[in-house]
Amino acid sequence: MKIAIEIKNLNVCYNGNFVLRNVNMNVAEGEFLGIIGPNGGGKTTLAKVILGIKEAREGDVLVYGMTPEKARGLVGYVPQFNTFEKDFPISVGEVVLTGLLGKAKPFRRYGKEELIKADSIMEMVGIMHLKEKGVKTLSGGETQKMLIARALATEPKILILDEPTASIDTKSKDSIYDLLRELNKKMTIILITHDLGVISAYVESIACLNVELFYHGESEINENIIEHTFGCPVDLLAHGVPHRVLKHHKKEGERK
Amino acid sequence: MIEDFMGIAFTQRVFFSAIFASILCGIIGTVIVEKNMVMVSGGIAHMVFGGVGLGFLMGFEPILGAFAFALAGAMIMAAMKKKDSRHMDGTIGVLWALGMALGSIFIYLKPGEPPDIHAYLFGDIEAVRLLDLYPMALLTVVTIALTWAYMKHLKSYLFDELFAEATGSANGFFDYLIYVFVGVSVVVLLRLVGIILAIALLTIPPMIAGRFTKRIETTMALASVLGLVFSLAGMFLAYRYGLPSGAAIILLACGVFIATLPMGG
C-alpha cells in the first residue's frame, strides 16, 4: 500500500514546551484516520506540521515523499471554527474561489475554467444555492461545507479537517460525515475530532494523541488506551455516559 | 468664505491632505478593523511619539523621526506575531508606554524653549500648512495600487490567515506589509488629528461603512468617503469656531458613529 504521510521521531516545541514528542506514524493512501486527544494535546499542531506552516524541531515529516512545504498543494485544510473571521464581508462563492488562488501574483483574475470548477465543487458539496450569500448569514453546517469546498478547490490528495463538527447540529453532522465518506473514495482523510461517537461509525483507523502518540490502528479501541491518552477516566469526557460508543458500530443516538 | 479665511493655497493643501489621509484610512483602517488590530495599531501610533521627541532633541524634522519609529514599531509587532507570542497584548502595552516615555524624556532633554507637542498629540490645522503633499500622494498611490493588485489575496488572508498561508497565497510577508502600512498611515495622520486620535480616524469610518456594505471593496470606498467628509467638516468647524481640529474631526466621526448605530446590518 502506498504511504501518504510518513512521520518519524517528530518533536515540536512552543515556548520551550513539547507539544509533540517522539511521534511516529504512517498514514496509508486512502485511509480515513481519526485523531482524538485532549485540548492542548497537539492535534492542531500536527495538522500544521503536515501542512508545512509549523516547523518540526526534530524529526522527519514526508508527504508523498516530499517535505510539507513542497507538498503544500497536495494537502487540503479545513480549519477549526474559531480560526477564521466569520463576520468578514465575503460571499460563499468568493471563499471557495480562494482555494484556487495559489501563490501571490499581482492582478490575479479567475479564469473561466476556474469559475466552472468552483461551481461544480459547490454543486457536489451541496452549497450551490448559497453561492451569492454572505458568509456571516450561514449556519454552522453550511459554513463547514463551504470550508470543505474551498479545501477541495485546491485539488488535494489528502484532506485534513480540524474539528469540523464542533459547533453544528446532529443532522448537519451526519450529512458532513456522509460527504467525507464519499470523498474518502478519492482521497486520504484525516479527521481531528472530539466527537468520539463518530470514530467508530465512520473512521477506519484512529490515532490517540496527547503530546505523544499513544495508539494508532483500528478504530476499535479499549478504554485503557483512551484513558491513557486523555490522562483521565473516559467517563469524564462523555459527561458520565459509559463509553460503549467505542465498541458498537452505530451512527447516532449513542451519546444522548 | 473659507478661502478668505485661510487663503486659496492653504485651502487646497487642506483639501488634498484630507483626501489622501481619508483614502489611506479607508483602506488601511478597514484592514485594521477586520483583523482586530486596533491594539497593535495603537501601539505603533504611540511608539511614534518617541520618534517625534528624538527629532526635537537631535534637531531633525520630527516627522522623519516619527516615520522611523513607526517602521521599527511595525517590524517589532509583526515579528512578535510571527513568534506566536502568548503575551502579545501585554507586550504591545509595554511598547505603547515606552514610545510615549521616550518621547517625553527626549523633549524634556532638549535645551531651550520646550516645543509644542500638543500639535503632535492631538493634531493641529496650522500644522497641515507644513505638510508636504508629495510624499502623502505617493504613499496613497502605492497603497491603492498594492491593494488593488493583491485584492483577492488580501481577502483570503483577512478571511482566514491560516488557510492563506497553507495554500501559499499569503505568507508572513503580508503581516509585515500591513503593519508597515499601519505605521505609515499613522504618520500621515499625525498632522491632521495627532497620535492619540489617529486610531479613531482609522477605525471609525470603516466601522460605520462596514454596517452598510457587503463587500470589502465597497467598505473601503465608503470608509474613504466618510473619512473625507469627517476631515473636511471637522476642519471647517475647527476654523469657524476656533476648536482644536483633531478633536473636532473625531467628535464629528463619533457622533455619526453613534447616530448610525441603529441602522444597517
Give me the mean pLDDT over the B234-260 stretch: 90
- Quote the minimal CA–CA distance from A250 to chain B in Å: 33
Tell the CATH topology of A3-246: Rossmann fold (3.40.50)
- Quote the minimal CA–CA distance from A29 to chain B in Å: 21
Kindly state the cell numbers that stand for B217: 471593496
B122 occurs within a structural domain: yes
B262 occurs within a structural domain: no
Pairing of strands A212-218, A75-78: unpaired
**pLDDT band at residue A161, thresholds of 50, 70 and 90?**
very high
Q: Among residues of chain A, what percentage have pLDDT more than 70?
A: 85
Q: How far apart are CA A211 and CA A63, in angstroms?
A: 21
pLDDT at A14 over 70: yes
pLDDT at A66 over 50: yes
3-class DSSP assignment, residue B119: helix
Q: What is the dihedral of CA A229, A235, A237, A240, to 10 degrees?
A: 180
Give me the mean pLDDT over the A83-107 stretch: 90
Contacts of B216 in chain A (CB under 8 A): 88-90
- Quote the minimal CA–CA distance from B209 to chain A in Å: 11
Could you say which of B86, B164, B219 has the minimum Cβ distance to residue A89? B219
* Tens digit of each residue's pLDDT (9 = 90 or more) over B61-118: 888 999 999 999 999 988 888 776 677 888 899 999 999 999 999 999 988 888 888 8
pLDDT at A96 over 70: yes
* Tens digit of each residue's pLDDT (9 = 90 or more) over B4-61: 555 666 778 888 888 999 999 999 999 999 998 999 999 999 999 999 999 999 999 8
3-class DSSP assignment, residue B35: coil
Q: Which of B142, B167, B171, B214 to mutate to test the interface with A (most CBs of A within 10 A)?
A: B167
Q: How many distinct structural domains can be found in chain B?
A: 1
Taking an 8 Å cut-off on Cβ atoms, the answer to whether B169 and A103 are in contact is yes
- DSSP run (H or E) holding B78: helix B62-82
Give me the mean pLDDT over the A205-215 stretch: 86
Q: Which residue of A has its CA nearest to B212?
A: A89
pLDDT of residue A250: 41
User: Which amino acid is it at B7?
Assistant: G
Taking an 8 Å cut-off on Cβ atoms, the answer to whether A84 and B162 are in contact is yes
**pLDDT band at residue B130, thresholds of 50, 70 and 90?**
low
* Tens digit of each residue's pLDDT (9 = 90 or more) over A234-243: 443 443 344 4
Could you say which of B152, B171, B216 has the minimum Cβ distance to residue A101? B152
B185 occurs within a structural domain: yes
Taking an 8 Å cut-off on Cβ atoms, the answer to whether B150 and A106 are in contact is yes
Could you say which of A77, A95, A103 has the minimum Cβ distance to residue B166? A77
Instruction: Note the helical H segments in B124-215.
Output: 125-128, 133-149, 151-159, 161-166, 172-212
Which tops the pLDDT comparison, A9 or B2? A9
Cβ–Cβ under 8 Å, residues B260 and B54: no
pLDDT of residue A252: 44
Q: How far apart are CA A65 and CA A143, in angstroms?
A: 33
Could you say which of B158, B162, B174 has the minimum Cβ distance to residue A88? B158
Give me the mean pLDDT over the A33-54 stretch: 89
pLDDT of residue B253: 95
Taking an 8 Å cut-off on Cβ atoms, the answer to whether A84 and B170 are in contact is no
Boundaries of every domain in chain A? 3-246
pLDDT of residue B265: 63
B26 occurs within a structural domain: yes
pLDDT of residue B6: 57
pLDDT of residue B87: 79
Taking an 8 Å cut-off on Cβ atoms, the answer to whether B164 and A98 are in contact is yes
Secondary structure of chain A in the HEC alphabet? CCEEEEEEEEEEEECCEEEEEEEEEEEECCCEEEEECCCCCCHHHHHHHHHCCCCCCEEEEEECCECCCCCHHHEEEECCHHHCCCCCCCEHHHHHHHCCCCCCCCCCCCCHHHHHHHHHHHHHHCCHHHCCCEHHHCCHHHHHHHHHHHHHHCCCCEEEEECCCCCCCHHHHHHHHHHHHHHCCCCEEEEECCCHHHHHHHCCEEEEEECEEEEEEECCCCHHHHHHHHCCCHHHHCCCCCHHHHCCCCCCCCCC
CB pairs under 8 A between A and B: 91
Contacts of A100 in chain B (CB under 8 A): none
Q: Quick one: DSSP state of residue B115?
A: P
pLDDT of residue A254: 41
**Numbered residues of chain B with Cβ closer than 8 Å to any chain A Cβ:** 34-35, 84, 86, 148-150, 152-153, 155-156, 158-171, 174, 210, 213-216, 219
Contacts of A48 in chain B (CB under 8 A): 162
Kindly state the cell numbers that stand for A255: 451519546
**β-sheet bridge partners, residue A5:** A27, A63
pLDDT at A113 over 60: yes
Which tops the pLDDT comparison, A1 or B56? B56
B261 occurs within a structural domain: no
Alpha-carbon distances, residue B97 vs B46, B100, B179, B181 (angstroms): 7, 5, 19, 21
| CATH code of the domain covering residue B203 | 1.10.3470.10
Q: How far apart are CA A160 and CA A71, in angstroms?
A: 14
pLDDT at A16 over 90: no
Global ipTM: 0.82
pLDDT of residue A193: 86
Q: Is the pTM of this model over 0.95?
A: no
Other Cβ atoms less than 10 A from the Cβ of B67: the count is 21
Taking an 8 Å cut-off on Cβ atoms, the answer to whether A89 and B210 are in contact is yes
Could you say which of A79, A90, A106 has the minimum Cβ distance to residue B163? A79
Could you say which of A14, A91, A104 has the minimum Cβ distance to residue B170? A104
Structural domain boundaries enclosing B156: 2-256
pLDDT at B202 over 90: yes
Taking an 8 Å cut-off on Cβ atoms, the answer to whether A88 and B34 are in contact is yes
